[in-house]
Amino acid sequence: MTSASQDYLRVEGVTKRFGTFTALDNVSFGAKKGEFISILGPSGCGKTTMLRAVAGLERQDEGRVLLSGQDVSHLPVSKRHVGIVFQSYALFPNLSARSNIAYGLKRSMKSRSAVNERVDELLKLVGLKGLGSKYPGQLSGGQQQRVALARAMALSPNLLLLDEPLSALDAQVRVMLRTEIRAMTQRLGLTTIMVTHDQEEALTMADRILVMKDGELVQNGTPSEIYDEPESPFVASFIGSMNFIRGSYNRDTGTFSKGSVRVRVDRQARSLKGEVLAAIRPEDVLVSTNGEQGPNVFEVDVRNVEYRGPIYRLALDLPLGHTETAPLIAEMPAEKVRRLNMTSDSRVKVILPSERVRLFHAEQV
């Protein structure tokens, strides 16, 4: 964790209401200089509103926004030294790429040649050298978003704010721009906040991910903390996928049970008792056709085998008693599925490694 004094940006207790609706509910976080932060969450959870409050496009009802330790809550967007890129390219269609990029520069730069020089620099920065004379209509989606990025960078902002900048692009362009944007912000040491609803984008690009739900910040951590140590079933299932089984937990023996199934759990779950949710990621469910025995080994029926390219996704039924079963998803490398000759009527063993099982309060859902 970073100390507050090191943060370039601080958001403190920001609440934003639209009428009686609370779009942001007491949100606090910080960003160190040069840090790349991703705000991730389902549609409507308040991501754009958060970004707009940081930018100064929206004024919060409560709380403060600080840049370099100074409260900028009262400052308009033009005084906050931020560059903004939206999902839609928002370019002027009747202006060339050059003119789009130069638009905000003309006021602050005296000579035409200084503007031209800066625009050339920016075109190069975003990989559009030589395309300055093209109009938005003559450029691909990815190229238009590069123009938008160059425009946002024109006045050398201290903070770059990106609102789903890649979501309108096709998959290949998206992946390429991900890498390029990340490399650019890293090279410039530029503090960046990127809103996305795409978990892969957040996991691959961000130093830190803020997960939002219904206007609240529900978890703030590095990508691996968010993925490996989700603090709630919501985060666990929103980022990646997760198997859940509802049952009870015995703290004295460290076991979860449901029907005839007993699962040993390594993690200390001091605060838990009674009804809980046991959770395990599909890639942590180990499938085997050997004669394994012991705790956390169960015989299951394969209900469905789904091809996913490099992996297979197996839908399994874990027997809990006479008739009841719990659905369990396992992911396996394609090579292993083929080697084990697994089909949808196989019976296999699964191991639920005790160190990969986590528990949540049942009412946390």
Ligand X SMILES: Nc1ncnc2c1ncn2[C@@H]1O[C@H](COP(=O)(O)OP(=O)(O)O)[C@@H](O)[C@H]1O
Residues that bind ligand X (CB under 6 A): 18, 23, 41, 43-49
Cα–Cα distance for residue pair 65/12, rounded to 1 Å: 6
Nearest residue (CB) to Mg ion, 38 versus 96? 38
Q: Which CB sits closer to ligand X, 23 or 285?
A: 23
Residue 213 C-beta: closest distance to ligand X, Å: 10
| Local structure of residue 320 (DSSP, 8 states) | -
The entry of Mg ion, ligand X, none near residue 14 (CB within 5 to 8 angstroms by kind) is: none
Q: State how far the Cα of 325 lies from the Cα of 154, in Å rounded to an integer.
A: 59
Q: What DSSP element (H or E) covers 49?
A: helix 47-55
45 binds, among ligand X, Mg ion, none (CB under 5 to 8 A by kind): ligand X
Give least dist CB 72 to ligand X, A. Answer: 20
Nearer to ligand X, 49 or 192 (CB): 49
Using CA atoms of 308, 311, 317, 320 in order, give the dihedral in degrees to the nearest 10: -140
Instruction: Read off the tokens for 134.
Output: 């093209």
Between 48 and 243, whose beta carbon lies closer to ligand X? 48
Pairing of strands 311-319, 208-213: unpaired
Indicate which of ligand X, Mg ion, none lies near residue 321 (CB less than 5 to 8 Å, by partner kind): none
Nearer to ligand X, 16 or 258 (CB): 16
C-alpha dist (Å) from residue 73 to 15, 160, 207, 302: 12, 17, 26, 57
Q: How far, in Å, CA of 239 to CA of 232, rounded? A: 11
Closest C-alpha to 312, from 328, 332, 285, 329: 332
Closest distance of CB 167 from Mg ion, Å:
9
Write the burial class of residue 81 (CB in 10 Å: 0-12 exposed, 13-18 middle, 19+ buried).
Answer: middle
The option from Mg ion, ligand X, none interacting with 247 (CB < 5 to 8 A, set by class) reads none
Contact footprint for Mg ion (CB under 5 A): 47-48
44 binds, among Mg ion, ligand X, none (CB under 5 to 8 A by kind): ligand X
Decide whether 27 or 67 has the Cβ nearer to ligand X.
27
Q: How far is the CB of 47 from Mg ion (least distance, A)?
A: 5
Of 199 and 296, the one with the shorter C-beta distance to Mg ion is 199
Q: Report DSSP letters for 59-122, one per residue.
A: --SEEEEEETTEE-TTS-GGGTTEEEE-SS----TTS-HHHHHHTTHHHH---HHHHHHHHHHH
Least distance in Å: CB of 191 to ligand X?
A: 20
Picked from Mg ion, ligand X, none, the partner binding residue 23 (CB below 5 to 8 A depending on kind) is: ligand X
Q: How far is the CB of 18 from ligand X (least distance, A)?
A: 3
What minimum distance in Å lies between the beta carbon of 206 and Mg ion? 17
CA torsion through residues 334, 339, 345, 348, sign: negative
Nearest residue to Mg ion on Cβ basis: 48
Pick from Mg ion, ligand X, none: which does 136 bind, CB < 5 to 8 A by kind? Answer: none
